[in-house]
Structure 1
Amino acid sequence: MTLIVIDPGHGGSDSGATYKNVQEKNFNLEISHMIRDHLVSTYEVNVVLTRETDKTLELKQRTDFANALKADFFLSIHNNASGGSGFETFIFNGTVPNETVQLQTSIHNKVARDILKKYNILDRGKKRANFHVLRETKMNALLIEVLFVDNEKDLNLLTNPSFIMDVSTVIADAIAEALKIPFKSKPIEGTLYKVIAGSFSDRENAETTLNKLIQKGFGAFISTTVIDKKTFYRIQAGAFTDKANAEALVAKLIKEGFESFILTEYGMASLISSVTLKADKGYEIQGDAVLNAKQMDAYVRTINPGAPELAELYLSHSKIYNIRGDIAYAQALHETNFFRFTGDVKPEQNNFAGIGATGGGANGATFPNASTGVLAHIQHLYAYASKSPIPAFDQKVDPRFDLVTRGSATTWKALNGKWAVPGTTYGQLILALYKKMLESALIEVEKERNTLKTTIENLEI
């Protein structure tokens, strides 16, 4: 598999170009992360960064790292300064293979077509220079100067999340196209391994166990089945096409004290998915929220007392797109394990929906702040639920918006096999969690009602 090393220029004590209160090193790291995330989530490729954080690295450390890995391609991301404007690329000014020149031409031209024209950015051309990272690397190497941090027009773009996502995505696609890297293949669905964390003849017992699972951070829901004319309530904690993944989840459940087993359904995965996708039935993604922000934040704090207060953001952004913000919030709880971020996505990414996190260590997209992360989540749901364009007054911040078949999932259950693969019960898990939120809110409402009723009864006038 192709191995790419991406080098976010500068870092740590070396801030790179500075202007006002911005530092080049931060733009370099953000763009590098997004290029990496798009590549690994979309293509059959391995990508590593010379630095993942704000870390000081000597130039020799960067090239030694890439050479030791025997990478196939080296990309250094920088931003310019000193009074200019625009985009430019560099390769070594000494002897280089024709392939290096061709790669520069292919990548540069695609960015020019898809980004420079769109944002009216000056094309400063394809250049050559005696930069250390181009001279000392033993593979094809390219250095990109995205824009100028000390040019007001360029800086406005660099501080625009929509532009950062656009340019990062196009650079990633340009690299994949130039290196002829294939797209990720879709998994073949066949035998499905369901993880059952309990089976009960009494629904109340099943509900009790389900609550305990949720408290421990496991996503699960209750499904019913009839055996010998008797109804059983099964708690399903996962469904996998890879038996090893199912066995790993069973081991985790048993370690936490939940007796679990694997239920194998042969040849059912594709059947379940196709029925769900064709039917597109169930609770619609678009519509009004029922819960308020106070109720939503209160619920998550019963599981994770340190959870951030994001409910207001979910309700305000979702209202613009007519998305049920309270259920989108439930989806975020499912994706982040109640904002504890125990999977590949980390808290600092502000990615509450697992956008671009396709497994296998892929971290997914990164957003500059919580509001942008929530908006990207809502826009991704909007892409599935509607064929209408993004409102003219809003910016597209979801990096995978255009990868969605518009209007292909109008209900939460219709997200099965789309948002999560195979994900044959993905929508059910979200709705089951939302039901818990509603029940929790109802209990509090009843308490308030009883308090008001008692006060009225005891009121002396």
Structure 2
Amino acid sequence: MKLYLDPGHGGTDPGAQGNGLMEKDITLDIAKIIRNILEQGYENIDVRMSRTSDITKSLIQRTDEANSWGADFYLSIHCNAFNGQARGYEDYIHSSLSDTSLTGKYQDIIHTEVTMLNNLINRGQKKANFHVLRETAMPALLSENGFIDNPDDAAFMREPLWRQKVAQGHVNGIVKAFSLKPKEVMPTSIYKIIAGSFKSKENADERVMFLKAKGIESIVVRTSIAGAVWFRVQAGAFHEKENAEKRLVEVKSAGIIGAFIINESTASSPAAPKDYPIIGKTHLSPEQMNKYAKKVNPNAINLGFYYTSFGDHYGIRGDIAFAQAMLETNFLLFTGDVKAGQNNFAGIGATGDGASGASFDSPKDGVLSHIQHLFAYASAKPLPPGYPLVDPRFHLVERGVAPAWTGLNGRWAVPGKNYGESILNIYKSMLSDSIQDLEEVLKEIDRQSLS
């Protein structure tokens, strides 16, 4: 399927303006997100954009290009303006077409999907004699995504998460209208920097403290080598080999001569831990989760309460979801494409090649989206009521396909061959720390009873 995607206006033509915003900027951002999601997530889709930057391009140039290319569908993204009072979303097909035409059927589908996600007043499906609808040789739709001169609609437009949702709504409509199939996600490499392996956890902890003093964050990972338990010091994990090599230079410059890189997708991996279902009761407390994160990153924000409360609400293992967040964010250090200000703790939408993924208004919403995304994978049931749907990719998931954590292998955004096992290894480390804490408490009780 060939999609000609047309972000309205551009260059010397700013389009509608209001509340400090210009239409040409909003439409370009939404269109780029649509393109990225479709190209990275679906098979047999070829997207050509009328512009990918702030350039001037005439309407004739746009429609001629789409016609010459032989596009199957023309989608023009716009924002509206009127009198500062009007609000809402509407979309258009050409006035000569009937509601039952092929274009009319596409409009029905896309309109439904967009209005499910955009939080705007629904102004309905309309018809007009716009150039891009009249001069195109293929079915064409023009969407007007809110009124930029209305302060309430403009407040939405200003938010990256809203633009992500609007784009996702258009994507969902195109996917349904043209029966697009999701791509099979291939495993990717994860490059881990190993800064020492020890039989004693105390020695591994000392190495972590040494590296911390040098400004290098690291963690202790329990692993099995030749049937024996070892404690490896891992000084970062990266999807890009170049970034891993930079960290290796830093580690060696700190005095760790024997440091090296392992590729998780090709290196012999430790014995996989026992699998766990995603649905289940959260066992670790918020305090235990927060304490574990702060061992690696003392500046880590406290997320344990959200993972416990939302996990309990949806019946998801909140403590293992927290371990997944530690894996995705490198213990909230955010050394990958997703940055801290996005409040995206699960890498939702971060599909590689620099795509930063979704952004959320608060840490609370970020965790809620993470738990909802896991629910989509683990269960085919409707979402329990009580909270709004904030996961922008919930409807892209094949429901109930991964009831267990290792079922996420090959399915999550950047899974890796042992993605689920890696999550569970972190969870086992969390359990180990909690048991050690309990043992220390019991020892202190014994000491007090003897004194």
TM over 0.5: yes
Task: Tell me if 1:311 matches 2:304.
Answer: yes
**TM-score normalized by the length of structure 2:** 0.66
In the alignment, which of 387, 391, 413 is matched to residue 394 of structure 1? 387
AA at the equivalent of 2:287: K
1:400-411 mapped onto 2 (5 Å cutoff): 400-411=393-404
In the aligned structure 2, how far is the partner of 1:16 from the partner of 1:26? 10
Equivalent of residue 245 in structure 2, options 242, 251, 275 = 251
1:377 is displaced (CA, Å) by 0.5
Tell me the distance in 1 between the aligned counterparts of 2:41 and 2:203.
39
Partner of 2:284: 291
What is the match of residue 328 of structure 1? 321
| Contact 1:162/1:397, CA 8 A, preserved across alignment | no
Q: What is the identity percentage for the equivalent residue pairs of Structure 1 and Structure 2?
A: 30
> 1:170 corresponds to which residue?
169
Question: What do the CA deviations read for 1:368-425 (whole angstroms, capped 9, x no partner)?
Answer: 3332221110011112222321013333322322333333323323322222555222
Name the residue aligned to 2:224: 224
- Call closer, same or farther: CA 1:26–1:285 in 2, change over 3 Å: farther
Structure 1 pair 77–264 and aligned structure 2 pair: CA distance change class (3 A): closer
RMSD of aligned residue pairs (Cα, Å) = 5.9
Residues 316-371 of structure 1, C-alpha deviation per residue, up to 9 Å, x if partnerless?
21110111212211211211122222212223332210112222222222333332
* 2:91 paired with 1:88: yes
Of 186, 195, 199, the match for 1:202: 199
8 Å contact kept, 1:27–1:158: yes
Instruction: Tell me what 1:127 maps to.
Output: 128
Residue of structure 2 equivalent to 1:365: 358
Q: Distance in 1 between matches of 2:40 and 2:141?
A: 22
Q: How far apart, CA to CA, are the structure 1 residues paired with 2:247 and 2:27?
A: 41
**Distance in 2 separating the partners of 1:193 and 1:147:** 41
Aligned runs of 1:146-157 on 2, under 5 Å? 146-148=145-147
Query: Does the 8 A contact of 1:217 with 1:338 survive in 2?
Result: no
Partner Cα distance (1:287, 1:203) in 2? 33
Please state how far the C-alpha of 1:454 moved relative to its aligned partner: 6.7
Q: What is the CA distance between 1:162 and its match in structure 2?
A: 10
Paired residue type of 1:431: L
| Count of aligned pairs between the two proteins | 419
In structure 1, what is the Cα distance between the partners aligned to 2:283 and 2:433? 13
- Whether the 8 Å CA contact 1:321–1:382 is kept in 2: the answer is yes
For 2:34, give the aligned amino acid. I
CA 1:247–1:115: 2 relative to 1, 3 Å: closer
Q: For residue 38 of structure 1, what is the amino acid of its counterpart?
A: I
Which stretches in structure 2 are left out of the alignment for 5+ residues?
Answer: 96-100, 253-258
Q: TM-score, normalized by length of structure 1?
A: 0.65
In structure 2, distance between residues paired with 1:157 and 1:340: 29
Deviation by residue 1:239-289 (Cα, 9 ceiling, x = unmatched): x9xxx97865763463223234569969x99xx9xxx9xxx9622322232
Hey, what does 2:427 align to over in structure 1? Answer: 434
What is the match of residue 411 of structure 2? Answer: 418
Quote how far apart the aligned CAs of 1:122 are. Answer: 3.2
- The one-letter code sitting in structure 2 at the alignment partner of 1:125 is K
Tell me the SS of whatever aligns to 1:375: helix
For the structure 1 residues 225 and 161, does the alpha-carbon distance in structure 2 shift closer, same or farther, using more than 3 Å as the test?
A: same
Contact 2:185 2:411 in 1 (8 A): no
One-letter identity of the residue aligned with 2:347: G
Structure 2 vs 1, CA of residues 212 and 108 (structure 1 numbering), >3 Å: closer, same or farther? Answer: farther
25 and 376 in structure 1: CA distance in 2 versus 1, 3 angstrom threshold: farther
Q: What is the aligned partner in structure 2 of residue 145 from structure 1?
A: 144
